[in-house]
Amino acid sequence: MAKVLIFLESANGKVKKSSLELLSAAQGQDVAGLLIDDGVSSVAQTLKNYPLKKVFVVNNPALKDFNSANYLAATAQVIQKFQPDIILASGSMTAKDLFPRVAAKFDAGFLGDCTQIKIEGTNAKVKRPLYSGKCVGEAEFTDSAKIKIVLMRPNQLPVPAEAASNCEVSEESFTAPAAKIRVKEVVKGSSTKPDLTEAAIIVSGGRGMKGPEHFKLLEDVANEIGATVGASRAVVDAGWVPHTMQVGQTGKTVAPNLYIACGISGAIQHLAGMSSSKVIVAINKDPEAPIFKKATYGIVGDAFEVLPKLKDAFHKLVAH
């Protein structure tokens, strides 16, 4: 049995779905969670119904906003105490910044952007897309990696069913190291929708939307079904929408249950960020557009005609 430490991220007083998914990968192992932030003690109480033996809570004002030095110190403190074989985290911006530092500090093995994982003994075997999703590689750790760190893409695993586990909450005292970095301000986006990387449904627009004013058509559809709006790089580069909305090789990697691509041609760099979506619907007026080769369902048509009809159809569905 492996000792598995799961890095749990929270928002609005709850552990994020992308973190809870990791519990599925670790079922049957000796599992502990790690919650780092200011004010996360109440969040730990929400874990009592999940398969975890223990949650380490590092709760300190110095951890309110992500600061790589302080988070590294807090994570290292818990690793030294729990001595995990495997550390699992969802591949968020925070984890992508933090865990390479953890790997360097502990001389650990590191595998990022994994879409499948199997724990065998104290090792982890993973699959992960390579070369912008053109092929899938299999990897495992060698014996020289005493600690194995795996970052999983969100939305790849189910959240385990709730069952009373009465996990122990261990509040860790923490003293922040002398500051090398000071976070001056964190500017949060105004959107109340889930971030693209965690959204279950995404409606994305490309250059075929003709201008930023027409993204309202995408938002209308998205609002009906609780989706988050994304974009191709062409429209981000044109300044129509911010870079935070970009999906693809140089944007965000997403894997929602449903990805609706509107007026997006399906360039390899865009596909690299969304091709592991479970269902892909493409709306494009060019029947030869490459996006149709990846799409589960294709609608050959003008987005300006299709989107209002889609909105009405979703509205009727949701109303029933």
Which residues are at the interface with ligand FAD (CB under 6 A)? 206-208, 232-235, 246-251, 263-265, 267, 269-270, 273, 283-286, 289, 302-304
The CB-of-265 to ligand FAD minimum distance in angstroms stands at 3
Separation between Cα atoms, residue 198 and residue 229, nearest integer Å: 12
The CB-of-309 to ligand FAD minimum distance in angstroms stands at 13
Residue 184 Cα distances to 95, 120, 130, 260, angstroms: 20, 43, 36, 37
The CB-of-260 to ligand FAD minimum distance in angstroms stands at 12
Place of tokens 């922040």: 176
Nearer to ligand FAD, 169 or 303 (CB): 303
Nearer to ligand FAD, 84 or 263 (CB): 263
Nearer to ligand FAD, 147 or 307 (CB): 307
The CB-of-15 to ligand FAD minimum distance in angstroms stands at 29
Nearer to ligand FAD, 160 or 205 (CB): 205
**3-state per-residue secondary structure call for the chain:** CCEEEEEECEECCEECHHHHCHHHHCCCCEEEEEEEECCCHHHHHCCCCCCCCEEEEEECHHHCCCCHHHHHHHHHHHHHHHCCCEEEEECCHHHHHHHHHHHHHHCCEEEEEECEEEEECCEEEEEEEECCCCEEEEEECCCCCCCEEEEECCCCCCCCCCCCCCCEEEEECCCCCCCCCCCCCCCCCCCCCCCHHHCCEEEEECHHHCCHHHHHHHHHHHHHHCCEEEECHHHHHCCCCCHHHEECCCCECCCCCEEEEECCCCCHHHHHHHCCCCEEEEEECCCCCCHHHHCCEEEECCHHHHHHHHHHHHHHHHHC
Nearer to ligand FAD, 153 or 233 (CB): 233
Nearer to ligand FAD, 143 or 288 (CB): 288
Nearer to ligand FAD, 90 or 246 (CB): 246
Nearer to ligand FAD, 40 or 262 (CB): 262
The CB-of-57 to ligand FAD minimum distance in angstroms stands at 37
Contact 2, 150 (CB under 8 A): no
- Strand ranges across the sheet with 135-140: 116-120, 123-130, 135-140
Contact 101, 181 (CB under 8 A): no
The CB-of-181 to ligand FAD minimum distance in angstroms stands at 28
The CB-of-291 to ligand FAD minimum distance in angstroms stands at 7
Nearer to ligand FAD, 154 or 273 (CB): 273
The CB-of-295 to ligand FAD minimum distance in angstroms stands at 12
The CB-of-112 to ligand FAD minimum distance in angstroms stands at 17
